[in-house]
Amino acid sequence: MTIFKIKEMLETLLQYEDSEIIHTIYSLHDTFFLNYSKELKTFQLRNIETGEIERFTDVGTTSIALYKIISNGEKEVTE
């Protein structure tokens, strides 16, 4: 998945901030849930295995974090 596609997905979450939308993201070693919290005005990325939650306030930073998770283990990375 490209950074552009990830940013599109995040923009969609922002458009529907009044709804509960959760994306499930799988990497080589972990599974993550991603959602947007209207109350905190943050994207929340929760590692299912560890319970750790990372919060991001903007699309750019969130997209980079997701890109690293998704592309982990790929031989070739595309933007």
Q: Is residue 66 part of a domain?
A: no
Which residues have CB under 8 Å from 48's CB, separation 6+?
30, 31, 32, 33
- The reported pTM is 0.81
In a domain, 72, yes or no: no
User: Could you report the per-residue pLDDT of 4-47, keeping only the tens digit for each?
Assistant: 999 999 999 999 988 888 889 888 888 999 999 999 999 999 99
First to last CA, the chain: 8
Let me know if residue 53 belongs to a domain: yes
The pLDDT assigned to 61 comes to: 95
Residue 16 forms part of a structural domain? yes
Region 54-76 average pLDDT: 83
Task: State the residue range of the domain holding 13.
Answer: 3-57
Phi then psi for residue 36, to 5 deg, are: -115, 130
User: Is 78 domain-assigned?
Assistant: no
Q: Is residue 38 situated within a structural domain?
A: yes
| Total structural domains within the chain | 1
